[in-house]
Structure formats: structure tokens, C-alpha cells
Amino acid sequence: MVAEACSVGLLGLSGWFIASSAAAGAGAYSLFSILNPSGGVRAFALARIVANYASRVGQHSAALRRIGAARLEFYDRSATDPGTRGTWSGQSLDRVMADADTNGMALIQATTPMVVATAMTAGGCLVIALAGYPLTAGIVAVAAAVCAALAAAAVRPMDKADRARSALRAELVTAVEAWPEMASLGTADQLARRTLRRITAFEGHRFHQAASRARTAGAARAVTAAALLLTVALAAGRGAGVATLVFVALLCVGVMGNAERLAATAEARALASQASERLKRDGRERPLRPAPSPAFRAAYTSRGLTASGYWLPGTPARAGRQIGFAVQAGQTLFVTGASGTGKTTLLNALEAALREPANQPAPGVVTAVLADDYVFTGTIASNIRLASPAARDEDIEELLTVTFLDRGGLGPATLTGSGGRVLSGGEQRRLHIARALATGPDVLLLDEPTTGLDAPTATLVLAAIRHWLPQAVLIMAMHDLPADPDVLGSWTEVSLD
């Protein structure tokens, strides 16, 4: 506010100074001291420089603190909410971080301009009124209020554009994932036309929003011009001198300049509000898996793993029931059942329970390989080092040998491509398993570990997992028992059918 007050004061005083000097120069034998006005101009200029610097430092520091606080609040909430476990992707986390940035930068782009515009309107009108022009002050106040109303009305089309953007983002992600299958069916043209319709709709909303923004800016400038004309007319009608007339007019321009910027301010505030709402509901807008019953208990000790009280909901093909199991160290449990019976839900609930410190009387590492696990862009080595940062190339090569990835010519330096697309489905699955083995877990949860593998390779990979982790508890969710479950040593089965 100090910086903006100095800007407006510099504008008004400079105009008055120039006009007074011109008026004095035009008169014969007139005297006009330039010392005090010129000193005031220099004082305003220096004060504006200092205040602007302090303003930028203060605002950016505060904005960074808000961004950091928003991110940490989101991470803390997600970490304590078992329902969000396994529901995040790289794209959704990028969006969350962008929303946190938007929410934090609202301090600079929305809050500060609103406060400054309000204060400058009140201060400018007060100065004009004290100068003896109360009607002129009222006109400036009304004009600023009209600009604020125009700014508030301009943000209404943003909601439609935001919904269209969300729909387009979802459409593009879906189209990229579905493209190979649609191309194989010979229907890629239909998919392209559908996506094009979404893009066209989004562009239409963007055009409408841009047109609304332009109309608002034009209307605000028209209001400023009308207020300036009325200000000059009223001041001239009351016999104001040239210097005073220039001072009042420039003061009006300075005040209205802040009011004109309210349109961009309102848009930034609307975007920040949308981002804040998304941050509050992220992880909750998606349908979450059913929470396990309060009676569910799971614990791991060096002797093995126990679970009890898990409620298995009823389906048309089965009655609801409670299940429990005990798996000794070095033993494998197969959780079998048809699609939709709840195998993945059980594994997620088990993982969440085992990660609770109170459920681990003995220290243990719990690693889960989910059905939709992610391969990061980079190399084979960089993906495995996410799990084991200290892994050497020799260690990684051994893991590739254990999971038979070396047979396909893959090595630590092999590029995975965007999202692992350079690798086949079976290679991606084995890379997920190799990354899990790198942690040397005491409990390894595997959701459909043989997806994308032929029967002989699947048997070899399962045997390699047990060979690598001879004393670990292995829990595998599968549609049916593998062709040769005995390669895993001692095993038991829980059927969810």
C-alpha cells in the first residue's frame, strides 16, 4: 500500500508541479519556488523504489510459505488416510502441486491487489474530498465500485471453462491409453473425432472467456474515462486552477488504475478458490475402496504374519463372512478368486494395517507390488534405485538375471520410455518385482504377479522370488493357483469365491 500510495502521489505531485511551473512561466514577473515540489517528487520516487522492493521480498516469502504449507498439509492428510493408498498417479500429484502453487500465489495476484485497490480508493477519495471537491470524490468512489462489480461478473464464465478443461484432460489421458486397442479394432478415427469434439468445446469456452475478459476491460476503461471527464468538469466548474485541475485529474487516474486491475485480481481469486477446493477433496472425489471393519487386525513378527477379523462383503455369488489367516516366515499365501471378489481390496487393507507401527512388534519391511504399479521415465537402474538408492550396477544386473529381464537384452542403462512404454507388459511387471526385491522385504504383497507372462516364465519368476527371499512372507493375489505352486515351497490358499 505504501508503494502504491507513493506511485499515485508521484503521479499527482509531478503533474501539479509541471502544471504550476508552466503557469508561472506563462505569467509576467511571476515567482514560483521549485525547491519544495522537486524535493517532494524525489522523495516519492525514492520511497516508491524502496517500498516496491520490500513489497516484493515480503510477498514472495509469504507466498512460498503458503505454498509449502499447502503441500505439507496435503501430504500429511494423504499419509494418514488409508483410503487414498494406491490411488495416486504422477499426473494427479502434478495437478495437486500446481493447485498448491496457485493457492499460494493468490497472495500476490489476488489478495494484495484487492487490499491495495480498496485502500487507495478510500485514501484517494479522502484526499480529493479534503481538497474541497467532495462530489468529485463521490464520483470516483462510485466508478471504482462499478469496476469491482464488473470484475466480479467477469469470473462467472470461468467455471464452465474449468469443467471443460477437466473433461478434456480426462479425455486425452483416456485416448492415449486406449489408442493401441482402438487402432487394433479399426476404430481410431472414431476416437480421434470424439477427442476433437472435446477440444473444440474447450476452445469455445476459452474464446467465450477471453471475449468476456476483453468486454470487462473495455467497460472498466470506459468507466474510468467517464469518471475522469466528470472529475475535470466538476473541478473546472468550481474555479480550480490549472495546477489543481491537473492534480485532481491525475489522482483520479491513479485511483482508477487500481480499480481497473480488479478484473485480473478477481480471476486470480477464482482460480485460487477452485484450487483450494480441489486440494481439500483430492483423494476423496474418487470412489474409495470399502474400509476394513474395525475388528480387522494384522501384525507381523519374526515368526510370521497373522490377520483376523477381515469382513468379506457379500456378493450375488457368495455370502458375507469374516476371514483370517496366519502365514509363517518362509511361507506363501495365495489369495484367489474371480475378478471383483475383493483380492486387491484385501491386499490394500493388509498393507495399510501392516504399516501401522503399533502392528509391528518386530521391525519389518513391507513392500507391495500393485496391479497398476508405475514404471518411471528414465532407465532400468533409476527405477530400481528408487527402492534401493545404494544399489550398484552389479546388484541391478543380478536382479535383472533373477527376474529373467536380461534374456531380452535389458540392462541397467536401458531406457524405459515415458511411463515404461518401451517395455512390454511382461517386462514392466518383472521390473515392478525386481524393484520390490531390491528392498529385501520381510513381507511382500503381490497383486497378479504373473500378468503378461507365459506359464513357463511365470513359474521361473515365482521360483526366483522365493529363492531371493527365502524367509519372507509372500502373499499373492491371483485368479487361480499358478501351474506349479510348489516352486514357492510351503504354501496355503484363501479363496474369496
At 443, which CATH number?
3.40.50.300
| Residues 336 and 235 placed together within one structural domain of the fold | no
Which of 229, 248, 281 delimits the end of a domain?
Answer: 281
Number of domains the chain contains: 2
CB atoms closer than 10 angstroms to residue 470 = 9
pLDDT of residue 407: 84
How far apart are the C-alpha atoms of 191 and 180, rounded to whole Å? 11
> Taking a C-beta distance cutoff of 8 angstroms, is the pair 84, 78 a contact?
yes
Rounded to 5°, angle at Cα 469 from 465 and 473: 95
Residue ranges making up the domain that contains 458: 297-495
CATH number at 189 reads 1.20.1560.10
Range scoring the smallest mean pLDDT among 89-93, 206-210, 488-492:
89-93
Q: Kindly tell me if the per-residue pLDDT of 359 is higher than 70.
A: no
Q: Same domain for 30 and 137?
A: yes
Strand order in the sheet with 491-495: 366-369, 443-447, 473-478, 332-336, 491-495
Do 22 and 56 touch, CB atoms closer than 8 A? Answer: no
Residue 477 belongs to some domain of the structure: yes
Residue 288 has pLDDT above 70, yes or no: no
Cβ count within 10 A of residue 349: 23
Q: Is the pLDDT higher at 406 or at 74?
A: 406
Residues 345 and 393 in one domain: yes
In contact, 426 and 389? CB cutoff 8 Å:
no
Residue 108: DSSP 8-state: I
| Single pTM value for the model | 0.53
Q: Compute the mean pLDDT over every residue in the chain, rounded to the nearest whole number.
A: 82
pLDDT, average across residues 32-41:
79
pLDDT (tens digit, 9 = 90+) per residue, 249-267?
888 888 888 888 888 888 8
β pairing state of 304-312 and 297-301: antiparallel
Q: Are residues 58 and 121 in the same domain?
A: yes
Residues 6+ apart with CB under 8 A from 227: 139, 140, 142, 143, 252, 256
- Answer whether 399's CB lies under 8 Å from 438's CB: yes
Both 337 and 272 in a single domain? no
Instruction: Mark whether 275 and 301 lie in a shared domain.
Output: no
Position 446 in a domain: yes
Beta-carbon count within 10 A of 414 CB? 18
According to DSSP H, which parts of 80-156 are helical? 90-106, 112-130, 134-154
